[in-house]
Amino acid sequence: MLFSQRDTMYMARALGLAWAAKGKTFPNPAVGAVVVSKGKIVGTGATQFCGGPHAEKVALRMAGKRATDATLYVTLEPCCHYGRTPPCTKAVISAGIKRVVVAINDPNPLVNGKGFALLKAAGIAVDTGLLQDEAAAVNEDFFWAITKKRAWITLKLACTLDGRIADEQGDSRWITGREARTFGHELRRRHAGVAIGRITLERDNPRLTVRHMKGFSPARIVFTSLEKVPLNTYFSRHAKKARCIVVVSGKGRRTIVRNANSGLEYWHTGEKETHAHLSVFLEMAFENNIISVLIEGGQRLASSFLESGLVNRVYLFYGNKILGRGREGMLFSKGLPINKCISLNKKQIFLLGDTIGITGIPDNLK
């Protein structure tokens, strides 16, 4: 299918709406939609909070009667099943839309081509594949989670040019510049959860909130082998204001217990071995509508996820500093030979002020 320049322009607008909605729609994907009639945009929309209207319905509502014989541009295949809301395909057909342009199909088994089939059966022209790669990037976490039934993991690491995450005294403020820290909060905004290890909690007492920009703060997660966590931390003191989860390793049963007094949730994976423990957590997270988690620290937690082959994407930020000594960013249980080392696929390199950023997909992903 050959798309026009105008088609591309309208789909780019829909993608912008989808990115703006990212972080607000979990566990649903972030979707953008644009209705065009007689060469003019008459309706725009993005997926609302979970349980709220989807992007197509928001855009169609704005368009009203002007949706008749119009073209709908949407970043993801319209849903065709009853969930928290009625199917979007029904709304599209009822609105009198003549043509639907979709960036990418929905891999959700409940949809996956069925939405297209219903639209075509109703006599609507359906064109797909416009800006497909860009649309896939918006919801790469959702696509992974809905097909694998486990949460997507992003690993973020800020280090010096010689790979240190703190100096010999444990000080890490600030290895990277303001631009990189702002982008770090953008990454938090895009994820359903943000996680650290117990040592990082005790040493740094991080807030794990979105502060450098507008956005909703993700669920806060702490990994530990001990059930009790310090009660004087921001994490514990604000557990009733946001979802705060303590992930506990150890043999036993897989259970989730919420402490009514503190507000903390205790997730027992029932596994002591690292890979099994982390794998069970990913399943539990998905089952509890946390489809993506940003790992922020520290050394042990980051290394465990990466060494276990459970990291979907990494973001490495290198501040323009050399320490010579200090805490290393990565320390595996066993060093890898050079011919079996982990490499990154689909790499992107970018600058944030004087900070060098690298992102990619580890080739040991399981």
Tokens of 180: 């990189």
Q: Strand 265-268 to strand 255-258: parallel, antiparallel, or no bridges (unpaired)?
A: antiparallel
Cβ contact 265:256 at 8 Å: yes
Q: Which of 56, 77, 265, 296 is catalytic?
A: 56
Task: Answer yes or no: 186 catalytic.
Answer: no
Q: Strand 99-102 to strand 71-74: parallel, antiparallel, or no bridges (unpaired)?
A: parallel
Max distance between CA atoms of the chain, in angstroms, equals 68
Please report the DSSP string for 140-194 in residue order.
HHHHHHHHHSS-EEEEEEEE-TTSEEE-TTS--TTSS-HHHHHHHHHHHHHSSEE
Could you identify the residue written with the tokens 């539990």?
A: 284
Could you identify the residue written with the tokens 């450098």?
A: 212
Cβ contact 166:327 at 8 Å: yes
Please report the DSSP string for 249-273 in residue order.
-SSS--EEEE-TTT--EEEE-S--S
Question: How many other β-carbons are positioned within 10 Å of the β-carbon of residue 43?
Answer: 22
Quick one: which of 236, 231, 284 has its CA closest to 256? Answer: 284
> Catalytic positions, please?
56
